[in-house]
């Protein structure tokens, strides 16, 4: 099973908004509301940012939001800050391959 | 506070086995699943499997079936990952992560680098 499809890179200026897409199939993203998003800074462990498509864990800024339409989930980061520069990964539960990650998206804050 | 502390880096020869530990603290060990996720150098995240610390049941990624074993010791709140018949492609940072059965991983270990090299 191929990984979920994410853009390799996105960029934005401080204060702007960016959206990262995550495309799967009807066997994972499309069929389950178990999409989560992780932020990873170089050399660090991933950090949970969004779970169950659109829920934010305690302590995560409300500048981060998630949504889903059909087989594609999205992470939107508003009011970009320099500290948001990192790699972002989506993850979905799926019936056959249990958990699939996206290939990762490198966010650059210009 | 919730902590997952993993064992240190390891170097193995091809064909050998490696065992990585993950000691949990700061919460009730049997109340959350533990997932294992690995990341090859410069690559993305790959889910390896899950263990339920309450009963020890496991579920593994299809591609690792037959080479991976996850166990737990409730007396020390520790989960173990064993990977056998190591190949160079298994060189990666291995993470344990606390999570839900289907939904998320909310706390992660610091990662353990396993290098497979002759």
**Residues B94/B114, Cβ–Cβ less than 8 Å:** yes
Residue B10 has pLDDT above 80, yes or no: yes
Which residues of A fall within a CB distance of 8 Å from B105?
36, 38, 46, 48, 91
Q: How far is B49 from chain A (nearest CA, A)?
A: 9
Contact B105 A48 (CB under 8 A): yes
Nearest to A52 by CA among A70, A62, A39, A37: A37
Structure confidence by residue, pLDDT tens digits, B87-105: 999 999 999 999 988 989 9
Across chain A, what does the average pLDDT equal? Answer: 95
Q: Which two tokens stand for residue A29?
A: 């993203």
What is the model's pLDDT at position B117?
Answer: 96
Of B62, B95, B104, the CB nearest to A51: B104
pLDDT value, residue B3: 97
Residue B76 to residue B32: CA distance in whole angstroms: 15
Structure tokens at A41: 């800074």
Query: Which of A75, A88, A100 has its CA nearest to residue A38?
Result: A88
A60 touches chain B (CB under 8 A): no
- Of B117, B112, B110, B71, the residue nearest B94 (C-alpha): B112
Strands (E), B7-101: 10-12, 18-25, 33-39, 45-51, 58-60, 68-73, 78-83, 92-99
Residue A41 at interface with chain B, using a CB cutoff of 8 Å: no
């Amino acid at each position: 099973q191929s990984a979920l499809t994410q853009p390799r890179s996105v960029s934005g200026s401080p204060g702007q908004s960016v959206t990262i897409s995550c495309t799967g199939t009807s066997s994972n993203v499309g069929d389950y509301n178990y999409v989560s998003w992780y932020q990873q800074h170089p050399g660090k462990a991933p950090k949970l940012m969004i779970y169950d498509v659109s829920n934010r864990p305690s302590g995560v800024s409300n500048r981060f939001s998630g949504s889903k339409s059909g087989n594609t989930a999205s992470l939107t980061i508003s009011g970009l800050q320099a500290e948001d520069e990192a790699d972002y990964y989506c993850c979905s539960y799926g019936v056959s391959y249990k958990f699939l990650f996206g290939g990762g998206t490198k966010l650059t804050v210009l | 506070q919730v902590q997952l502390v993993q064992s240190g880096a390891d170097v193995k020869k091809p064909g050998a086995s490696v065992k990585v530990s993950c000691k949990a603290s700061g919460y009730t060990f049997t109340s959350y699943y533990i997932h294992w996720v690995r990341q090859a150098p410069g690559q993305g995240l790959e889910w390896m499997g899950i263990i339920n610390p309450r009963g020890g049941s496991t579920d593994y990624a299809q591609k690792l079936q037959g080479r991976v074993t996850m166990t737990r010791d409730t007396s020390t709140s520790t989960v173990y990952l064993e990977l056998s018949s190591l190949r160079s492609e298994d060189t990666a940072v291995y993470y344990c992560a606390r999570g839900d059965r289907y939904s998320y991983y909310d706390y992660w270990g610091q990662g353990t680098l396993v290098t497979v090299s002759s």
